[in-house]
């Protein structure tokens, strides 16, 4: 048997929506997606983009990021987080992580904010690793105290909740989602930016398509350009497919959480393996991350030989050549991220996994663990 790390999933409704586009039905799939997604999250505004990275980049534009500005982020994030900052010749500031959740360490974040009060400090991008959140109430209080914006990178937190509210509606200035997230194969790309701020929404909407403005009563082909934007727009076909995906999300998330509980019950107490230890009862398990106490790479290679694909979330940013050289970073600068990186791996977890596949992964993890010394 082979168990893929992820699997392309479709539905009857996705086929129907895509057929509507191909048949030329008079439905604006992008507008419908934005309306439905805003309602699903419980937020005022949603703007669809061509990719999750586009949503993050557009968020930086909406915040009017400029050369020399500083954006704080976790050292444990996908490279697109500091990448969108560097495109503005702004500076990413890296913070070490919490050893349990792998998210940004709020104590270290607060210490940095206290010691570095400056005009150039613009925002904090918080990545919800595996969909699990930090203490958002504390985060928002810190943002207010130190006058910085909060951008949540929710690429793995679609449908996740915090104290009963869906991520994206809990109080961030901007939240960005990715419908084709890191290592998850899909047939379409897409992202979306959500906010309750009309000012942010209007600026992002303007810049999403070349900052073009058209008069209400003018000919359709007459336009003006009032700023420097870009083309971040989502295709009608992608929007059609994603609309169906959103309708299935809560049901799929429930199945994923069931699989996670099965993993946790079966792998609890297995020697050399540590299972997730969520701080709240609202972990969506968009990723199921285990720790292997030694020889993580050989463990992963052995699983691969036996047909189980695994992932890594993430390689710490200071290990990557560009950031290591650009900011003269040493491997020991972020000790928690260093230790975590050497131990973690993500097991396959997605709604269409069959029970026999889940059991196969469990059996192989136990089998490989039993050979460790």
The CATH number given to whatever domain includes residue 222 is 3.40.640.10
Same domain, 56 and 191: yes
The angle that helices 236-267 and 12-22 make with each other, rounded to 10 degrees, is 170
Same domain, 205 and 264: no
Residue 20 maps to a domain: yes
The three-state secondary structure class of 122 is strand
Q: Answer yes or no: pTM beyond 0.85.
A: yes
Its domain, for residue 327, covers 249-370
pLDDT score recorded for residue 184: 66
Same domain, 166 and 203: yes
Residues 6+ apart with CB under 8 A from 181: 52, 155, 156
**Residue at which a domain ends, from 243, 261, 277:** 243
Instruction: Tell me how many domains the chain contains.
Output: 2
Same domain, 202 and 255: no
pLDDT score recorded for residue 366: 98
Same domain, 227 and 320: no
Same domain, 310 and 235: no
**Residue at which a domain ends, from 195, 228, 243:** 243
Residues 6+ apart with CB under 8 A from 266: 362, 366
Same domain, 154 and 276: no
Enumerate residue ranges in the chain where pLDDT < 50: none
Same domain, 232 and 280: no
pLDDT score recorded for residue 183: 56
User: Read out DSSP for 162-177?
Assistant: ETTEETTSSS-SEEEE
Same domain, 65 and 194: yes
**Residue at which a domain ends, from 243, 271, 292:** 243
Residue-wise burial string across 243-252, b where 16 or more C-beta atoms lie within 10 A, e elsewhere: bbbbbbeeeb
CATH number at residue 298: 3.90.1150.10
Q: DSSP label at 216?
A: T
Residue 79 maps to a domain: yes
Q: Kindly report, residue by residue over 78-126, the tens digit of the pLDDT.
A: 999 999 999 999 999 999 999 999 999 999 999 999 999 877 999 999 9
Same domain, 359 and 318: yes
User: Read out DSSP for 249-302?
Assistant: HHHHHHHHHHHHHHHHHHHTT-TTEE----SSTT---SSEEEEESS-HHHHHHH
Question: Do 55 and 205 meet the contact criterion of CB atoms below 8 Å apart?
Answer: no
Residue 49 maps to a domain: yes
Residue 281 maps to a domain: yes
Residue 220 maps to a domain: yes
pLDDT score recorded for residue 67: 97
pLDDT score recorded for residue 337: 98
Same domain, 281 and 137: no
Query: Which one, of 226, 150, 235, 228, lies nearest residue 191 by Cα?
Result: 235
Give the distance from CA 206 to its chain's centroid: 24
pLDDT score recorded for residue 185: 64
Residue 5 maps to a domain: no
Tokens standing for 298?
């050989």
Residue 42 maps to a domain: yes
Residue 263 maps to a domain: yes
Same domain, 232 and 283: no
């Amino acid at each position: 048997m082979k168990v893929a790390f992820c699997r392309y999933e479709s539905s009857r409704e996705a086929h129907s929506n895509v057929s509507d586009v191909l048949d030329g039905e008079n439905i604006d799939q992008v507008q419908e997606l934005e309306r439905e997604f805003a309602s699903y999250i419980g937020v005022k505004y949603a703007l669809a983009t061509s990719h999750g990275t586009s949503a993050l980049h557009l968020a930086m534009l909406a915040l009017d990021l400029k050369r020399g500005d500083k954006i704080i982020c976790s050292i444990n994030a996908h490279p697109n987080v500091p990448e969108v900052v560097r495109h503005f010749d702004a500076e990413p500031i890296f913070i070490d992580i919490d050893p349990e959740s792998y998210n940004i360490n709020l104590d270290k974040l607060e210490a940095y904010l206290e010691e570095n009060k400056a005009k150039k400090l613009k925002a904090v991008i918080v990545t919800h690793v595996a969909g699990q959140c930090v203490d958002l109430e504390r985060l928002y209080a810190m943002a207010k105290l130190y006058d910085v914006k909060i951008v949540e990178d929710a690429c793995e937190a679609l449908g996740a909740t915090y104290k009963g509210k869906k991520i994206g509606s809990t109080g961030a200035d901007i939240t960005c989602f990715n419908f084709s997230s890191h290592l998850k194969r899909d047939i379409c790309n897409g992202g979306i930016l959500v906010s309750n701020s009309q000012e942010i929404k209007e600026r992002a909407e303007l810049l999403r398509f070349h900052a073009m403005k058209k008069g209400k009563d003018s000919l359709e082909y007459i336009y003006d350009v009032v700023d420097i934007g870009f083309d971040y727009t989502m295709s009608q076909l992608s929007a059609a497919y994603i609309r169906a995906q959103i309708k299935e999300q809560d049901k799929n998330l429930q199945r994923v959480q069931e699989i996670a509980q099965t993993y946790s019950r079966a792998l609890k107490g297995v020697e050399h393996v540590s299972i997730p230890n969520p701080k709240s009862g609202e972990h969506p398990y968009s990723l199921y991350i285990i720790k292997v106490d030694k020889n993580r790479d050989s463990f992963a290679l052995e699983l691969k030989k036996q047909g189980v694909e695994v992932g890594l979330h993430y390689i710490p940013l200071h290990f990557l050549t560009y950031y290591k050289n650009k900011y003269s970073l040493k491997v020991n600068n972020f000790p928690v991220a260093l230790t975590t990186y050497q131990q973690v791996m993500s097991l396959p977890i997605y709604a269409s996994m069959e029970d026999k596949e889940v059991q196969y992964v469990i059996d192989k993890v136990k089998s490989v663990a039993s050979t460790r010394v």
